[in-house]
Structure formats: structure tokens, C-alpha cells
Structure 1
Amino acid sequence: MKRNIKLNATRFIAGAFMIGALATSCTDLEIESTDSVITGESFNGVLEPTSFLDNMFNTLNGQIGDQANIFALQEVTTDAAIIPTRGSDWGDNGIWRQLHQHNWLTTHQFIQTAFLQWNTTHFQAAQVLSDLSVNATAEDRANAYFLRALGMWFVLDNWGQVPVRDPELSLFEDPIVLRGAEAVDQIVSDLNQAIEQLPAGAPMTNNNRPNKAAARYLLAKVLLNKHIYLDTEAASADMNQVISLVDQINGEGYDLQEGYFDLFRDSGDNETIWFLGAGVSNRIWNGLHYAQTSERDNTGGGWNGFATLSSYYDLFEGDPEINEEGSGQEERRGVVPTSGEPIGACDGCTDNNGDGIADASHIGLGFLIGQQYGADGTPLEDRAGAPLTFKRDFQDGDGNSSLINNDETTGIRLQKYAARYGSFNTHEIFFRYADAHLMKAEALFRSGGDATPLVNELRVLRGATPLGSVGAQELIDERGRELYAELWRRNDLIRFGQFTADWELKAPGAVGDETRNLFPIPASQVTLNPNLTQNPGY
């Protein structure tokens, strides 16, 4: 029987997760004890909604900018990212390896933390929307509708069920749980409210808060994936609405822009729909070697962790063994400089040591493979004195394919944000028009149309050869080429039925196991709320 869910904000959202969040002390999840976050009889509304929302957005910066938790769940569980253990580095009791191998448990730290974080996001937004929060302005409510939808969507997409509760009810009452159509309908309703109430905004402005275009983008994302949540075929009406939403975003001035890696600088452009004030240092340093340093930030070098599979690198046009300047790669694959650039040739760079070379301009962009170089052109070495050559394969000391006992040089590295522009920039792209453009192409394909012209429009702009025709495989591959390290790979692979496919170093028993399409509900939450049911396979 379908449940009648009230859309009035005072009859919405929280969950047993709040009991866990309030009863235990965890540094990065700690909730401040004020009457703005207490539920039940003590809840009198959020007293200062604007500052409360400021804190929510600041928290969101950390959630998205982190290399663990939701980022790890979206990227490290796929063919796009892998973190081998090199000696004792990045061992962490197997927490990274388990994600890539698809043998995570219900107690996995990142899964537990992300579940709490995103449920807290939509619960706190519901508090702002409560009728008791009498000081909330129209702008406050618009932001809260958007954040409530965003939090609910992340929970639905990753766990398949969303615990919800009226903020005014006691924490000891079991929260209801939304699944499937009920959850989608609530998210869509909130996003329609956000679209109506958020400001219009425009490209080249300070889009670090959501506007109408951001809400339309998220609604398109929800509708594109709706058939996955409902376990049905994609509906033409939903696909037509995706196309319409993207056209509306385009009509506001957002469009594709030349200069792929310039998009990831700390500056405005026509493609960025929404960026976060999150520092980009994680995206820069977690894959670079210890010997790759930056005078600009006075860093001691990279952290030598994150890498990608050679099969992912091979999605791009170009030589499979080299990515140096002049080797004929497509733009998105990037380049490995053989030395630093003169400071005069690098707009926005610094020269802190006065040698005439732009700081960190010897560090490449895109996919780093083969020999890496210092600022003066000297080939770099690893700590054992061997050439610093990033390799395609992951091997242990005996030459066996392995995720453990790797040396310092295994794995192709990814760099989307350039060290030369500074790792302390707080400008991480979250929603981008190129993604919307490809969503439109996919919606057209799923409703029986031809996606080829739209995909080729993007490919030509990125310096890639146009395709003769575009089907499902070409669409998922193009999304992989355009959107790597932007938190969308897991979502895309599931929608195209490829998340359970075989790839290098995945556990053999996980291949074809569709229960991996959803993460487990943390065991503690199932115990606290009997309305939650553990997902199949756990």
C-alpha cells in the first residue's frame, strides 16, 4: 500500500542516525549542542537560519572536498581510481583496497561516515524548513529545499532507502523510511520548490551557492537515474524533461567552453554551474610522488596514493605508453611536461624561488605516465634512486598483479587541478555544464534519438576525433573521459549496468554481483531503526 507522505516540512526527516550522531563523539561528525539541532519537544525552530545554512554549506565543502567518504565511494569503487598499498603506505587496514575490490563490510568506516553525513544534511535542511523556524527568509527556504533534496538523493543513490522524521518528534520514535517512487517524488518536489525560489544566477559569477541552474541540473540527474531507483525502463517523459532542463540551463548562458584544464582553475567560466569552497589539495597531492614538490605552496611533495587503471587511461586517444608534450594526446588526457615553464609563459603562476621557472609547472596535468621531470628538466627519481616512471601495472615485488607490496612507481596518476595554480585554492567544481550536455545526449539516446551530434560537439571542442555513431558504450566512455575524478563514475557505471563488470584487481567473487550496486546500511542504524532493512547481499 502506498504511504501518504506529507510534504509539509514540519512532518519530515531525520532518522535513527541522529541518535548515533548525538550519542557518540566522532570528530568530523560532531553536531553542536544548540536548540537549532535538537529534535522533539525541545525543538523550537532554527533561531538563526542564515548562519545555520552557512554552516551547512561549510560542512558540505568538507564532505565533497575530502578524499575519503563520499568521494571514495564514488571513485575508488570503480575502474577510475585505485589505491595500492606501497610498503606500509596507504595500508590503513585495507580500507581503500576493499572499495576497489568490492568486498567491503557493513562496518566499513567510509560507508558509515557518508551515511551519517548525508542523512544529517537532509535532516538539518528539514529543520530550517520547519514552520517553527520563523526567522527563515525566502532565500533560506530555497537553499534548504535544495540541500534537503541533495542529501536525500545521495542517500537514495548509494543506499536505496532514506530514513525520514519530523524534526519535532522524539528521537525515540522510529523514523519512517522512503524507498523507490516515494523517495524520488519527495526529492523532485523539493527541487521544483528550489527551482521556483532560488535566484537565477549566471555564468562567470560567484556560483558557490546553488541557483536555479544548479537545481535544474540536480533534477535532471535524478530523473536520468529514476528508472534505476524504480527498477523499470527509462520513461520517455523523464528523458524529455531531462532534455528540457538542460536546454533551460543553456538558456541561462551556461555552455561548453574551450580550455579543458582551465575550467579547474580558481576563476569564472561559462561551464561551471556550481562550485564549492572546498580546498583542492586532496585532488592534487594524493596521487603525486613524494619527489614532486611545489615551491608555490612550500609542500614536501605528494602522498603517493591514488592512481587509475590502464584500461581507464586507454579510453583516451593517444599513445598507450607515453603522455609527454608533442606525443599527440587528446586534450583531456593531459600532458607530462619535460621541464618547468618560464614564469612569463604561465598566467597566474608564481616564482617563489626566483629561478625564472613557474612554480610547480613541471608537474603534469591529466594522466601522468612514464618518466616524470623536475623544474630544470632533470628526470626525477624515487626514494630508492630508481627513475620515477609511473607504470601501467600494479605489481608486487615478485612481479605478480597485486594491490599490496607495490613499489613507489606503480599506477598512472591523475591530475585535474594544477599544482602550478596552488593547492590552497578553494574552488572545487561540483556541477558542470559538460555533464548536463552529456546528460541531454544520453536522455536523447534513451528516448530513441541520435546522441551522436551532441557527443561529437563536445569531442571536437576537446580535440578528440568525432565518432561515427554513438550508442550506450560510447556514451559511458565519453562520460568517463570528460568527468573523471568529479564524483560521478559509480553513478554512471550503475546506470549503464557496468558497475559489477570485471576490471583489474576486483575480487573475482564480486564480478557480476549486483548486490554491490547498493552499499550496506550501517549495522548500528538497522538496529536503531526497525523500519530500515539491510540491503541484499549483506
Structure 2
Amino acid sequence: MKIKYLKIAISSLLIAIISACTDKLDLLPTNDITAETVYKTPLGYKQALAKVYSAFALTGNTGGTGSPDIPSQIISDEGNSDFLRLYWNLQELTTDEASWTWQNDAGVKGLKEMSWSAINPIINGIYYRAFFQITLCNDFIRQSSDANLSKRGITGTDAENIRKYRAEARFIRAYQYWALMDLFGNPPFVTENDAVGAILPKQIQRKDLFTYIETELKAIENDLVDPGQNEYPRAEKSAAWALLARLYLNAEVYAGTAKYTEAITYCNKIKAASFSLHPNYRELTLADNHLNKTENIFMIAYDATNTQNWGGTTYLAHGPAAVPGDISGTSGNWGGLRHTQNFVDLFPDETGNTDQRAQFYTVGQNRLMAELYKGTDGYSSNKYRNKTRTGAKAPHADPAGNWTDIDFPLFRLGEINLIYAEAVLRGGTGGDVATALTYINQLRTRAYGGKTTGNITASQLTLNFILDERGRELYYEAHRRTDLIRYKKFTTGAYLWAWKGGIANGRAVEDKYNLFPIPSNDLSSNPNLVQNQGY
């Protein structure tokens, strides 16, 4: 069942060793549910692992910062406090792919205009949410050491299983540190080896954090379960390979050194593991997309019964402006998300009759985003639909139509095809242009309904083509900001889109906006931290 780990998390204890109310990082609980209670049995370990995973999809306490004090005002809107909505907003609302109508919603004003500050609630929210999950991971990793297993009399197969759980927690921690490195550059840094509640975390430099993430992923590679052998949607070896491939593709940005050969190496590992593209692109983001086992690599699982919040894929199905509920499979739209005309221009045919990835809703919508905060300016999207591939209701449909069953792809094979091709074009070895062209044309053949009419030639396979193709293939999957930064088009005048920099035709902005600022609350409470340049 696709949401097994979430059901475990919700039905189990709340793992109060982590979530007990406290303003300190990694402190012991203030009630009587302690580590010795929770981690007494193998089942307790699995329940604790479930909470680690479910932190991706649930809202609630976003505490657990890398610094010792957790402000109570992190974000007042619970629906805007889940990891995905926060992360997605920073990756998409800051680019050509998306705008949000309601400028009075906390943190929205300034994202599109690139005029945010260190007190922006969305920026602060993702920072604290990432550290919340890191804190959960640190505790699980600490409690699942060989010494603790031995002390609790857990041996044999049970101990081996928990060691695999431990590798999964290390992967999730590495992923969250990757997100913090990508967004903030130089975040605070804490692992399971730091004394509980006894330190003000030091800041790690981006280059050093890159090395840490790389080392962690390589260290756990052989401890993770083989592809296709774990409970869905738990992490497998392929998840670590995919994160390494993405890490290496962006190595020049993160660490100043190109590692395109290494990116190709890990793409090849995934390709050798019998993954294949799901044949229908429009089924990738439906309510039964957990069935797309050959393309899914690592997903956040959502369920209308067990993950009821206003973030996640509920946001991505409800959020697009004007889309009727009978199309989105929900109770209706929130009039919010819209594309700039610059993004629509990436597609040869906005109707989707040519390239089926163009899933625009245009009824009543103006193509031109003449006004940034006008709900009818800019086409909308129906990419996320809370229906099955047969058009039936979602597997765990909410009768009121409020919440969705759509799982979100943190990693899928389509991205790996694109990473391989870009890494080859940027000079990486271990791959070749002919194979890169094949991988791109696989994506385009699928996009064109199984026809080869959209296929390109080797002379058309350029870096700029890859950037555009990433826009077409991966839009609304939280990649765009990172891609534009890698191509030096995010802050510069090399590519302008509507309302970039706060004007209708777009303008270049200061390079400081390639990173988000460390939240002011953390700076004031932790003297070890230094703000990113320019803020």
C-alpha cells in the first residue's frame, strides 16, 4: 500500500523524544515518553522511522532548527508549513514558471519581484522545516547505533533491518542538507555526534557541506536496499544515486569544481538498474502515480485520509487559477498559481495537442501576465489532477474534495535522462552524445504521444535546448530556480521573464538573490552564524 509508512506514523506514538514542546535543538523530552520507551523494540524503531519519513508530508511543529531557539512565529498558516509547499514556492514562484495571486499571503510578496529579506516567512519556514527533519534523522541515527542495538538486546535479522533503516535516515538527512545548501549556501550544521542540547551549532561552508553530502551518500550506498526491493516509497540505492547525480550536476555552483563525469557515473548506475520511462507523461502526476514503478525513484507519499494539509500536492491541484474541480479532481481552485507568458513560450503548441506536456488551462485566462497579482493574467496548469489514469476518483478520495492522493516525485527517471545529456554536453566522460540524444528523444517521443515528430538531431542538442527541455519536462516539480542559477540566468539579464525584478518586462537583479538569507531569528540567537553576503 502506497502510504504504509504514513499510516504507521499516524497510528503510532508521536515519538515525543523529538516532538515534545521545547525551544532547544535535540533536547530530551519534558514528558515520560523517552528513547528507552520508543526504541525498546524493533517495531518501535520502524515507527520512529515512519515519523522521519512522514515529516516530508505532514504539517504541525516546524521546530528543530540548527540553532538552539525555535521561534514560535515560524509560520502561522499551517497549510504553508509542510516541506513541499515551502520548498516548491522558493523554487517556482521566484522564476518564470509560477506566480501566486494572493500577495497578502505570508511571504508571497517579494518572491517574484526578487526583493525578499531575512524575515520572509516562506524562506524562514523551509529553513526550520528542513532542520526539523534533520533533527528527527539525527535522533534516529543516534538511537540505531550498534551500541544502542546491543544495549537493547536487538540482534540478528531485526538488527540488520534497523541498520538499513539507519541508512535511509542518513539519506533523508543528506537530502535535507542538500536542500539547505542549494537554498542558503552556508547553513548551521549538526549531526548525531553532537552533544544533545549542549551546543550552538557552527556554520558550515557550502563547499564543505558538498563534500559531507557526497561522502554520506557514498558511505550508505551499499547499506540501502536494491532498487525495487523496498516498501514504497522508502529510499533505495537508486535514491542515493539520483541525489549524487543532481549534486554533481551542480558541483560548480556548490563547490566551484566541475564534476560532470561523476554525474554521468551515477546516471549510468540508475540506467543499469532496469528503470524505464512510464509511457504516458500525463499519468506521472495523477492520484495513482504510485503505480509508475519503473520511473519513480523517490517520492513523497500523500493520502487524502492520512495526510490532510493544505500544502503538498493538495496545493498543486487546488492552487492553479480557474481550473474547475471536475478537471482537477478537487472541490475547486484557489485562484492562485499561474504561468508567465515566457514559460508558455517554451512549448510549440499551448493546447498540448503537439507536446502533451503542455497542460495549460486557458479558459478565462489571459496569456500575458500584464498584472502580477491578477488571477486572470497568465495561463493556469492542470498537471496535478486528483484522479486515476482511468478518470476514476482517487484511491483514498476525500468526499469533500479537499485533499489529494497524488504523490510528489522528488526524483524520477526523466530527470536522470536530462542530467546525463547535460553532463555530456558540459564535457563529462563516461557517456557520449549519441546516448544523450537517445535519452532526450525518449522523453520527446513520449511527450509527442509515441510519435517521433518531435525528435531532434545531434546538431540541435545544445545546452540551451537542455535548459528549455528541463522546463518542459520538469515544470512544477521544483527544479526551475536551481536550473536557472546553474545556467547563470536567474539573476542576470541573460534571460528575462515577466515581473522578474518587479517590472512587467523583467530586469536583472543583484547576484545576492542566488541565495536566500539566513533567518534573522537564527542570527540573533546564534553568534556562530554569519549572514549571506548582501543581506
TM-score normalised over the length of structure 2: 0.74
Distance change (3 Å), C-alpha of 1:175 and 1:296: closer
Alignment counterpart, residue 73 of structure 1, candidates 90, 111, 115: 90
Cα shift readout 1:111-134 (whole Å, capped 9, x = no counterpart): 111101112222321222224643
Distance change (3 Å), C-alpha of 1:244 and 1:175: same
| Structure 2 Cα separation of the partners of residues 254 and 23 of structure 1 | 44
Residue type at the aligned position of 1:313: V
Distance change (3 Å), C-alpha of 1:245 and 1:295: closer
Alignment counterpart, residue 111 of structure 2, candidates 99, 103, 117: 99
Matched, 1:476 2:467: yes
Matched, 1:522 2:486: no
| Structure 2 Cα separation of the partners of residues 481 and 166 of structure 1 | 38
| Structure 2 Cα separation of the partners of residues 435 and 490 of structure 1 | 15
Contact 1:145 / 1:193 at 8 angstroms: preserved in 2?
no
Question: Which position in structure 2 is the counterpart of 1:50?
Answer: 46
Distance change (3 Å), C-alpha of 1:286 and 1:506: same
CA apart distance, 1:478: 0.4
CA apart distance, 1:287: 0.8
CA apart distance, 1:172: 4.9
Question: Which position in structure 1 is the counterpart of 2:123?
Answer: 111
| Structure 2 Cα separation of the partners of residues 53 and 145 of structure 1 | 11
Alignment counterpart, residue 382 of structure 2, candidates 399, 415, 430: 415
Contact 2:91 / 2:479 at 8 angstroms: preserved in 1?
yes
- How many percent identity over aligned positions? 25
Matched, 1:275 2:269: no
The residue correspondences of 1:347-426 to structure 2 (distance < 5 A) are: 366-369=359-362, 371=363, 389-394=364-369, 401-404=370-373, 406=374, 408-421=375-388, 422=394, 424-426=404-406
| Structure 2 Cα separation of the partners of residues 65 and 283 of structure 1 | 13
Question: Which position in structure 1 is the counterpart of 2:268?
Answer: 247
| Structure 2 Cα separation of the partners of residues 73 and 34 of structure 1 | 36
Question: Which position in structure 1 is the counterpart of 2:7?
Answer: none
Residue type at the aligned position of 1:173: I
Matched, 1:489 2:458: no
Distance change (3 Å), C-alpha of 1:295 and 1:461: closer
Residue type at the aligned position of 1:507: G
Gaps of 5+ in 2: 1-17, 60-80, 153-158, 304-312, 389-393, 395-402
The residue correspondences of 1:37-436 to structure 2 (distance < 5 A) are: 48-62=44-58, 68-84=85-101, 90-92=102-104, 95-130=107-142, 131=145, 133-134=148-149, 137-165=162-190, 167=192, 168-169=194-195, 171-202=197-228, 207-232=232-257, 234=258, 238-265=259-286, 266=288, 267-269=290-292, 270-279=294-303, 280-289=313-322, 292-294=324-326, 299-318=330-349, 323=351, 328-333=353-358, 366-369=359-362, 371=363, 389-394=364-369, 401-404=370-373, 406=374, 408-421=375-388, 422=394, 424-436=404-416
Distance change (3 Å), C-alpha of 1:390 and 1:209: same
Say which SS state the counterpart of residue 274 (structure 1) adopts. strand
More displaced 10-residue stretch of structure 1: 408-417 or 214-223: 408-417
Question: Which position in structure 2 is the counterpart of 1:343?
Answer: none
TM-score normalised over the length of structure 1: 0.74
Gaps of 5+ in 1: 1-17, 25-29, 85-89, 334-365, 372-388, 395-400
Contact 1:165 / 1:175 at 8 angstroms: preserved in 2?
yes
| Structure 2 Cα separation of the partners of residues 36 and 491 of structure 1 | 41
CA apart distance, 1:415: 1.8
Count of aligned positions: 437
Distance change (3 Å), C-alpha of 1:133 and 1:530: farther
Residue type at the aligned position of 1:245: Y
Alignment counterpart, residue 447 of structure 2, candidates 462, 478, 483: 462
Residue type at the aligned position of 2:301: G
| Structure 2 Cα separation of the partners of residues 271 and 124 of structure 1 | 28
Question: Which position in structure 1 is the counterpart of 2:66?
Answer: none
Distance change (3 Å), C-alpha of 1:508 and 1:97: closer
CA apart distance, 1:278: 2.0
Tell which structure's C-alpha radius of gyration is larger: 1
Say which SS state the counterpart of residue 304 (structure 1) adopts. coil
Say which SS state the counterpart of residue 137 (structure 2) adopts. helix
Cα shift readout 1:317-366 (whole Å, capped 9, x = no counterpart): 115xxx27xxx431111xxxxxxxxxxxxxxxxxxxxxxxxxxxxxxxx1
Say which SS state the counterpart of residue 200 (structure 2) adopts. coil
Question: Aligned-residue CA RMSD in angstroms?
Answer: 3.2
CA apart distance, 1:175: 1.5
Distance change (3 Å), C-alpha of 1:495 and 1:62: farther
More displaced 10-residue stretch of structure 1: 487-496 or 167-176: 167-176
| Structure 1 Cα separation of the partners of residues 106 and 214 of structure 2 | 38
CA apart distance, 1:72: 0.6
